[in-house]
Structure 1
């Protein structure tokens, strides 16, 4: 059992025909690229590095592979195919909402339902951000804070003076 054999990417004639069908839109004529260059593009678009795509498509010299990638027609084809891929995998709020609603429908427990509803609320911005108390203290030197009396420090912290006094219970006299 070989891991390499399972992870190899095959390029079939159908793949090449599909690639060729995009050439007119990419500004590439059908006869401008060789079969090897078409295979190189397909391997690269499917996620291989330039060097790996070059080896997989049969190039022996890696410097030549990098030169092939610099050809304007190759660059045009790759840019067009990348843009097409972006359009195919476009993911927006509506898609996410549909997926969340499907997850809600399939949820087995109340906790799962609550989590989906929380996620939907976050997605659509329905949760108001918590208002945290923010204290801004502009102090040039730490020594200035050290010299302040307790009353001033409590005032800066937003707490009144009675905070320091112990609260008496019913049994205190």
Structure 2
């Protein structure tokens, strides 16, 4: 039976059921130190060296990707979900190299949480980028979600998460989730 199903999938051109996301910056479920608080690339306490990502099996018709990195464990420490990176990525892309947040001009990046009072009120023009993990109280788990979208979002640099979710509504083809910890020492 398995051979019959595999043959049917291959005939139809179906080789995978889901979008897959991974990062060479995550080893055994742990984000490397250099992408967060213990890294040397910082802007007023905000880590700025973005992790590399790669993905495969994007659905046919993908026009754009959205990548969101959130820290739900931050609620216990600071009372809110912390946003580390919101970015829109061209649909013909299947990877982001290390430090793409700083070097890739094709990315449209939204505001991370570092502009807030809790984040030190960093200038808004400096927080539409990657702002890495800095868990204040203990090791945190970060949820990294890649969305494959059926259209390009009409958002500009500095967009907010709620604007992204509103724009994506009804346009998500698939999503992939990667969870990784950043170790508090």
- TM score, norm. by length of structure 2: 0.19
Identify the structure with the greater helix proportion.
Answer: 1
Identify the structure with the greater strand proportion.
Answer: 2
Comparing both chains, which one has the higher relative contact order based on Cα–Cα distances under 8 Å and sequence gaps of 6 or more?
2
- Rg larger in 1 or in 2? 1
